[in-house]
Structure 1
């Protein structure tokens, strides 16, 4: 099933495509691929920016720092990571995590997301020509000083991508936008169309304040599984995609609004209902007052992270 879905996706991209969404950087292979694979999901503005940035200012000619959303923050995507100082890290990511019980229309929650300027996407053909496994080669190619903080971040990304998945987890790293979409398609293993979402916040982040939940919508209609793809620190865009098998996760688009006069922001979010294999030192447990295997842990997706779900019949 998965292989046939991927083959169908490739054939769709080769065929002529109709006019795309206004949010898509038309003309690029990545844009055409996205439109064919996800015809009912306009490319998020953050991804549009990274595709266009990679076209106008290629990482192969112009150095882009291997940025992290928050240094050493353990944002919840590598559940086995032990943070260097869990108490400090908990305070730095407090605005990302929330309880499943807080996700109700009319409820108020404290939200804060930091500024983040991730590296741009390389065109798929360019990315496929670059070896992605050796730290020394990566540092030499992009002129990164060995022993520097940036070198350490690049090394951490390579190590994370080499790690075996947790029990019941599917994971893969992708070095192009097309690779991200194909990874999600393989993991979801369905012939149904996919839905995609990203948090619609600027790369300057969201200031820490109380936000009221305006609306909640399960991604794709809910119940069909979801894949989260997170930007990793590298000189060009590298995403780690993963999902847990079974029904232990659910993805949503949550509309939140700050004080009166501020616009509503549509945030991609995921709730983890089984945290039994997470490390006890994970900062989410301190923030939410729970423990491995306890109450669900939910979090928003930072700027330019992606979520994919199965689009069920009669649902957007």
Structure 2
């Protein structure tokens, strides 16, 4: 059988890893796990290096998986060992313990493991190999054909192959939580400033930093997202479906996210929690009433996840105001998969500001300036040293989005 697996990274034959037959039943489960890990590591490296030849790669991986299944079917014997026949003769009324049965049939564990590896390879072919365009990305191209997808969205559609847990880096609640319900100033006051200070050469607040709110979350297909409940009364079912431990920190954040999304909108606001990219696009286009849309997100030059705290100055290239009279802002919520809290803002302007840090860090920062601040709590105006009703601005973390009509 042609089981060789050739490529720039993988130069091993699967015979070297898995070949066994009815006369070679001495392989241990530990050895099997080691061999599986070795194969999966090599396959992962191969997948990482083979993006340019995904069609050939899919064929090769499919061939390997099918050959493995054929090997399992043909090479593992099912004949009853003599020792088992002897047991039945000597102890006809005694059930053989599972541990002894496993020692008589070591190939059974190997057979299961080989089958698992083969199915994992087929899953790789279906989901992870090459550059297949996710349905949500195709939907973006259909709905927003003239809009470049931000890197943060692309990363959530094509998560790192190594995966990982959702990490809450910098918890962030939409601004109106602080405005309407909090007695204290938001946890990161350095993000806030007044609009008149937004000009080339202006120095921003010391200690300003730009981080991502979450790490590890990814979009899931709309059909899958719609099939999972998204309401507080289904909280236990949600945790079960998303494999979240009930007493974990993530479970607490999931509960908070559901509560945030179920709160009534403040007067004049339209809000929506998008559990898929497709549903977010539907909300944005319906509220902005156009498909000719610009989307902005804070980015740190060099694709860094965090810009260290430092003093930033507005670069000479200046400040670009987002076009259009209406804006939709979307904020990521803590959840096992990507969820965005989106709301149509009122009396708000958005800017993209080029900032240069004293340590040389360059940031394209998105700022939102709120003009209707008459109902805001007095602590905002006291901290910023301005009168009530003064327009107040704030920068957005890296994984937040602002959508606006192009014109």
The TM-score with structure 2 as length reference comes to 0.60
> What is the CA deviation profile of residues 103-154 of structure 1, one whole-angstrom value per residue up to 9, with x for unaligned ones?
1112111321235433111122221221111222122222323343322211
What is residue 117 of structure 1 aligned with on the other side?
214
Partners of 1:48 and 1:160 in 2: CA distance: 26
State the SS of the aligned residue for 1:109: coil
State the SS of the aligned residue for 1:139: helix
Q: How many residues align?
A: 268
What is residue 117 of structure 2 aligned with on the other side?
none
Q: Is the 2:307–2:361 Cα contact (8 Å) retained in structure 1?
A: no
Partners of 2:382 and 2:243 in 1: CA distance: 39
Q: 1:38 to 1:200 in 2, by over 3 A?
A: farther
Alignment of 1:79-94 (within 5 A): 79=178, 82-83=181-182, 86=184, 90=186, 92-94=187-189
State the SS of the aligned residue for 1:212: strand
- 1:263 Cα deviation (Å)? 5.3
Which residue of 317, 327, 338 maps to 1:237? 338
Which residue of 115, 140, 145 maps to 1:39? 145
Is 1:213 aligned to residue 308 of structure 2? Answer: no
Partners of 1:43 and 1:130 in 2: CA distance: 26
The answer for unaligned runs of 5 or more in structure 1 is 1-24
Larger Rg: 2
Partners of 1:132 and 1:275 in 2: CA distance: 32
**More deviation, 266-275/226-235:** 266-275
Alignment of 1:121-270 (within 5 A): 121-133=219-231, 134-188=234-288, 190-191=289-290, 193-201=292-300, 202=303, 204-214=305-315, 215-219=318-322, 221=323, 223-245=324-346, 248-259=347-358, 262=360, 264-270=362-368
Alignment of 1:275-314 (within 5 A): 275-280=373-378, 284-285=380-381, 287-290=383-386, 293-312=388-407
Q: Is the 2:369–2:393 Cα contact (8 Å) retained in structure 1?
A: yes
Structure with the bigger RCO (C-alpha within 8 Å, sep 6+) is 1
State the SS of the aligned residue for 1:42: coil
The answer for unaligned runs of 5 or more in structure 2 is 1-130
More helix by percentage: 2
The TM-score with structure 1 as length reference comes to 0.75
> What is the CA deviation profile of residues 150-198 of structure 1, one whole-angstrom value per residue up to 9, with x for unaligned ones?
222111110111111111111111001111121111222x236111111
Q: Is the 1:139–1:145 Cα contact (8 Å) retained in structure 2?
A: yes
What is residue 4 of structure 1 aligned with on the other side?
none
Partners of 2:376 and 2:168 in 1: CA distance: 22
- 1:288 Cα deviation (Å)? 2.2
